[in-house]
Chain A
Amino acid sequence: MPPSALVEIRDLNFTYDKRPVLQGINMTFPKGKLVAIMGLSGCGKTTLLRHIGGVLKPSKGYVKVDGQVMHELDQAGLYAMRRKMGMLFQFGALFTDMSVYDNVAFQMREHTSLPEDIIHSLVIMKLNAVGLRGAQNMMPSELSGGMARRVALARTVALDPMLIMYDEPFAGLDPISLTVIGDLIRRLNDALGATSIIVTHDIQESLKIVDYVYFMASGVIMAEGTPDELRANQTGFVRQFMHGEMDGPVPFHYPGADYRQDLNLRA
């Protein structure tokens, strides 16, 4: 592993129900950087993230985080590694039976023996960082989508993780919340000195904040580069994805039988 890489993926293959989901993936995530994995829905982005988190085991190849091969860790080792990670789920995944405060304090209470007054100070600081100190007593059901995502972000960074993973952090947000979340992701990454991986298909927002991008389609890497390199890339798939074109290498029509045959017309 290169000395500056926190996460290294080599020849990663994953097959589910005889269907290849990931094929020969090679990626490197340098320390302190914010890297995006982009691609169409169902192209294997979230599956890749689950491999990095050690939730799935590869059919071939490996994912190495901080020098350790994830699928070789036992449960204790895996949990020890996950304590150094944070993950923001698509819709926040806040614990609905706990207040905003308790959600952010959750990991501190589970993994540390800090006294409650220290936990209080830490929670307030985390909530202040995402601008929601005033919402500490609210329940998740009382929050808007953008607020829930910010609380989840505060919970994700509660224990100052070295690796932060974001699964579709921009999904379903209004333009203001989108900018706020994007800005927070960048600022938190830099403030914590962490490494961040964003799985998304929101091009405009993510290209503003990331250092490097991997484009995926059908379980393989189609292109990679810095945001500027990708903006200048005019190859078929990248161009179609970047400009949201309807037809191209990714066809508009899902493969099916002959159209005339489906309409019961004779040739």
Chain B
Amino acid sequence: MALIKTIREIGHRVINAVWRIGVAARFFFLTILYSGNSFRRFNLIVKELFSSGVMSLIIIIVAGLFVGMVLGLQGYETLKRYGSESALGVMVALGLVRELGPVIAALLFASRAGSAMTAEIGLMKATEQISAMEMMAVNPIARIVAPRFWAGVISMPLLAALFSAVGIFGGYLVGVVQIGVDEGSFWSQMQAAVDFREDVLNGVIKSLVFGTVVTLIALFEGFDAPPTAEGVSGATTRTVVTSSLAILMLDFVLTAIMFRGA
């Protein structure tokens, strides 16, 4: 009996998970379908760009600087063993542009902007603001969800690029200014080794994918949250956990596709 109960429980959870994925896919489709209004009234997107993008600048810049400094320090210690300190710039830049920039910026974006989006929409639902909008014949997906979605998609690559740029500067501060690696080789080797299409563009594509997924998860969780304090808090937690796992899994998949044999 206990075995049947366990199997039934597992089956129930699997069905629920599949059903939820279906609902999220439908939500994504509707968001795209009702995006026209956001582009006709671009100021709606600009307003959300401020909330999700500009307000994330501090955390992105500070985190980027420290990650770059750690990379500079660790990279120097490792490269020194092989007498390749001059390749520090390449190591820092490739590490940031290909991987750490898009991934860490997306993780930070999920925890700052993503959780804020979920909490805001969840609270709008709990305080009947979304119902009020529906009763005013205004489609909440077109008016609330779509501008936030596009703001997330646009701001994520910009934040990731900024993270990488500040990170490279952090690596420069530690490697060149503090430790004394030759400045010329730091920059020139970086310039020679980092390929625009292979490295920079692929990093941008990664951050675009992460931005789409994180924003979609955050908006869906907020829209789907039970309209209670507990419901909103649970949805916010799910946004951060699901987004973080999705980012890391997608990063592996994208890296395998983009850089295999490169």
Show the binding face of A for B, using Cβ within 8 Å. 53, 55, 78-80, 82-83, 85-87, 89-91, 93-97, 106-107, 110-111
B143 — which chain A residues lie within 8 A by C-beta?
110
Tell me if A95 and B129 are in contact (CB < 8 A).
Answer: yes
Show the binding face of B for A, using Cβ within 8 Å. 120, 123-124, 127-129, 131-132, 134-139, 143
Tell me if B137 and A82 are in contact (CB < 8 A).
Answer: yes
Docked complex Cα distance between A106 and B149 (Å): 21
Tell me if B127 and A96 are in contact (CB < 8 A).
Answer: yes
| 21 A-B pairs (CB sep. < 8 Å) | A53-B135, A79-B137, A79-B139, A82-B134, A82-B136, A83-B136, A86-B135, A87-B135, A89-B128, A94-B129, A95-B124, A95-B129, A96-B124, A96-B129, A97-B120, A106-B138, A107-B136, A107-B138, A110-B136, A110-B138, A111-B137
Task: Tally inter-chain residue pairs, CB-CB below 8 A.
Answer: 47
CB of B50, distance to nearest CB on chain A (Å): 12
B134 — which chain A residues lie within 8 A by C-beta?
55, 82
CB of A151, distance to nearest CB on chain B (Å): 12
B132 contacts which of A78, A80, A83, A89 (Cβ < 8 Å)?
A89
A94 — which chain B residues lie within 8 A by C-beta?
129
Tell me if A93 and B137 are in contact (CB < 8 A).
Answer: no
Docked complex Cα distance between A82 and B123 (Å): 24
Name B136's closest neighbour in chain A (CB-CB): A107
Tell me if B135 and A85 are in contact (CB < 8 A).
Answer: yes
Tell me if A90 and B128 are in contact (CB < 8 A).
Answer: yes
B137 — which chain A residues lie within 8 A by C-beta?
78-80, 82-83, 111
A89 contacts which of B124, B131, B139 (Cβ < 8 Å)?
B131
B128 — which chain A residues lie within 8 A by C-beta?
89-91, 93
Among the interface residues B120, B137, B143, which one has the most CB atoms of the partner chain A within 10 A? B137
A110 — which chain B residues lie within 8 A by C-beta?
136, 138, 143
Tell me if A106 and B129 are in contact (CB < 8 A).
Answer: no
Docked complex Cα distance between A93 and B135 (Å): 11
Name B37's closest neighbour in chain A (CB-CB): A110
Instruction: Supply 6 further A-B pairs (C-beta < 8 A) apart from A78-B137, A93-B128.
Output: A55-B131, A82-B135, A82-B137, A83-B136, A86-B135, A111-B138
Name A84's closest neighbour in chain B (CB-CB): B137
Docked complex Cα distance between A83 and B135 (Å): 8
A86 — which chain B residues lie within 8 A by C-beta?
135
Name B138's closest neighbour in chain A (CB-CB): A110
CB of B119, distance to nearest CB on chain A (Å): 12
Name B130's closest neighbour in chain A (CB-CB): A93
Docked complex Cα distance between A82 and B138 (Å): 9
Name B47's closest neighbour in chain A (CB-CB): A97
Among the interface residues B123, B131, B136, which one has the most CB atoms of the partner chain A within 10 A? B136
Tell me if B136 and A106 are in contact (CB < 8 A).
Answer: yes
Name A98's closest neighbour in chain B (CB-CB): B129
Name A111's closest neighbour in chain B (CB-CB): B137
